[in-house]
Structure 1
Amino acid sequence: MAGYLLRRMGQALATMLAVSVIVFVILHLLPGGIVRAQLGSKATPLAVHVLEQQEGLLKPLPVQYWIWLKDTLSGNLGFAYKLNQPVSSLIAEYVPRTFMLVGISMLFAISIAVPMGLWQGNRRNKADDHVISATMLILYSMPTFLLAVVLIVVLNLWLPVFPSTASDYGTSFLVDVKDLALPILTLTLANVTYFSRYMRSSVIDNLLEDYVKTARAKGASRGRVLAKHVLRNSLNSTVTLLGLTLPYTVSGSLIVESIFDFPGAGLLFWNSAQTRDFEVLLGVVLVISAATVMGNLLADILYGIVDPRVRSRS
């Protein structure tokens, strides 16, 4: 297990290093350069040269990258000139809410999809299986923004149960449960379709395996076989999909937060894009990328725990 963990951690570290290089290159490919992005297009050549000298932008690129990497690792992600505050303080204010939103929605999606997929696999081609499959297909075909709009119409306009926009929390991390309801419900419904379909297919495949027939021949009930044998073996696909779905869910949160005006990293990214605050955009990209890589690393670790064969092959 230790060797498996070391290999996966090495891959995660290499991925993050590649992401840092990409972000650094994008930072230097900004229209007019970093300094022009800070001072504006009407800045004089003298002002541009002075700021370039102050920020060390006249040094060779490898030296600049090393200095930038050290600053980034120390928590210095630059300065948001449009909002007049450090990017790190903005990240600390907005990103935890996005992690909370994504984490809760993923937890709900898995909690719903696993038993649903197990039920469908056991009841395949029955009436209830067809009804659930049709419902999941409808949700699967709906873009995230359309699903969010439908939920607003139903649960805010027709049935005024939940607010369609979040309150202003300032720098507070705590968020009203009602403000979380619609964003979490949107991301949960968007993800439950993937997990349930994969879980259903995996359950059907495992029910045809010889170990199930052997267990049944020994007198084990169908419910015991499902709970003790089929469930664990079927979770492999769900754990794998967890790592693959995480980037999609995080990117989907940008749309969801923009629609519901939820004060998270997605809304910060959207507002910064409107004001062309590049330092904030790249800071959010870097932090979210790091979180996504760590999420995939966690999924790999869980995959190794669920299926010991993976550790021996990897």
Structure 2
Amino acid sequence: MTRYLARRLAHALVVTLCVTAVVFVLLHMLPGGPVRASLPINATPAQVAELTRQYGYDRPLHVQYGTWMWNLLRGDLGFSPQLNMPVRDAITERLPKTMTLMVLGIGASLLIGVPMGIYQAARRYQRSDYLLTGATFLSYAAPVFFVGLLLIDLLAVSFRVFPAGAPQGDSVAEILSQPNALVLPVATFAFCGFAQWSRFIRSATMDNLVQDYVRTARSIGASERQVLWVHVTRNSLITIVTLLGLHLPTLFAGAVIVETVFNYPGMGLMFWQAAQNHDYPILLGVVLFGTILTIVGSILADIGYAVLDPRVRLTA
């Protein structure tokens, strides 16, 4: 286990360096730039040149990247001129809100997707299975932003059941104190995520239903309900552990869209606003966090799978 973790951490360091270097170069190739975005439209060339020198954007790219990496090793992610605060503080402030939305979205999608997948496997190739399969394909095909806008138009504008905007506040407690405003963002997450869980659970359950231990359980008198919900479901849920770890970066990418559509004050909305304002420090900080989240999710998925299934050994 220790050797495996050491090797994965070494790979993670290389991946992080490569991703941040590529993103750093791509950001500086974009037209405009952070200096022009920070100044009024009638700024003089002298003002642009002075601010460029002050921020260090006049130096070669490799020097700028080296400086950014050196500051990163000391825990300094830079300073955001648009937010007028350190990037680390901005991420620390927005991260709990995004994690709250992601956890609620994952929980809602699992509550829908897992029972649906088990139900489909138990009634495989029947009419109900085909109908639910069509619903999952619809979820796969629907863009996240379209689902959010459709829910706003239907439940906020037409019927006025829920507010169109997401809850606002400086803390997670304030966000959770407005449950009505959380319904539509969480529902958007759940609708766009339950299909993946249901399809994988359906496949895993169907594979387990033909295993020897299922026939043994039936031969000793276990009912079909016991076989399905006690024996088969427990083994099928191992697939979810792997998917949860690998699904973290996808959820974070979805948070960018959901938070932008509903004006939710999390990291996703901050990333979108930073992209519009050419706020390089914020963009690099969020990309770094997403890279680390992807690596950590992959490692946790491997460890969780090895813990739940004793036949798996972490030797890679």
TM over 0.5: yes
The alignment status of 1:115 with 2:115, answered yes or no, reads: yes
**Residue 50 of structure 2 is aligned with which of 27, 30, 47?**
47
Q: Is the 8 A contact 2:98 2:255 kept in 1?
A: yes
Secondary structure class of the residue paired with 1:310: coil
Structure 1 position 194, deviation (Å):
0.7
Partner of 1:305: 307
Structure 1 position 168, deviation (Å):
4.0
Percent identity over the alignment is 41
Q: Provide the C-alpha distance between the structure 2 equivalents of 1:64 and 1:8, rounded to a whole number of angstroms.
A: 28
Partner of 1:100: 100
Structure 1 position 101, deviation (Å):
0.9
Q: Provide the C-alpha distance between the structure 2 equivalents of 1:118 and 1:33, rounded to a whole number of angstroms.
A: 51
**Residue 235 of structure 1 is aligned with which of 200, 213, 237?**
237
Partner of 1:258: 260
**Residue 215 of structure 1 is aligned with which of 198, 217, 237?**
217
Structure 1 position 36, deviation (Å):
7.0
Q: Provide the C-alpha distance between the structure 2 equivalents of 1:88 and 1:65, rounded to a whole number of angstroms.
A: 18
Q: Which amino acid aligns with 2:212?
A: D
Structure 1 position 203, deviation (Å):
0.7
Secondary structure class of the residue paired with 1:125: coil
Structure 1 position 177, deviation (Å):
2.1
The alignment status of 1:190 with 2:192, answered yes or no, reads: yes
Partner of 1:280: 282
Q: Is the 8 A contact 2:34 2:278 kept in 1?
A: no
Q: Which amino acid aligns with 1:128?
A: S
Cα deviation 1:58-86 (Å, max 9, x = unaligned): 5893x754542232243322222233222
With normalisation by structure 2, the TM-score equals 0.83
Structure 1 position 231, deviation (Å):
1.9
With normalisation by structure 1, the TM-score equals 0.84
Secondary structure class of the residue paired with 1:283: helix
Partner of 1:81: 81
Cα deviation 1:78-125 (Å, max 9, x = unaligned): 222233222222222222211221122112222332222122111212
Return 194-203 or 216-225, whichever deviates more. Answer: 216-225
Structure 1 position 183, deviation (Å):
0.8
Q: 1:76 to 1:150 in 2, by over 3 A?
A: same
Q: Is the 8 A contact 1:30 1:37 kept in 2?
A: no
Q: 1:219 to 1:12 in 2, by over 3 A?
A: farther
Cα deviation 1:206-265 (Å, max 9, x = unaligned): 212233223323333333332343223322332332233322221111111111111111
Q: Is the 8 A contact 1:23 1:286 kept in 2?
A: no
Q: Which amino acid aligns with 2:312?
A: V
Q: Is the 8 A contact 1:5 1:301 kept in 2?
A: no
Partner of 2:149: 149
Structure 1 position 313, deviation (Å):
5.8
Q: Is the 8 A contact 1:27 1:34 kept in 2?
A: no
Q: Which amino acid aligns with 2:50?
A: A
Return 304-313 or 193-202, whichever deviates more. Answer: 304-313
CA RMSD of aligned residues (A): 3.0
Where does structure 2 lack aligned partners over 5 or more consecutive residues? none
The alignment status of 1:172 with 2:171, answered yes or no, reads: yes
The alignment status of 1:161 with 2:161, answered yes or no, reads: yes
Structure 1 position 270, deviation (Å):
1.6
Q: Which amino acid aligns with 2:83?
A: L
Structure 1 position 198, deviation (Å):
1.0
Return 17-26 or 86-95, whichever deviates more. Answer: 17-26
Q: 1:60 to 1:257 in 2, by over 3 A?
A: closer
Q: 1:300 to 1:107 in 2, by over 3 A?
A: farther
Aligned residues: 310
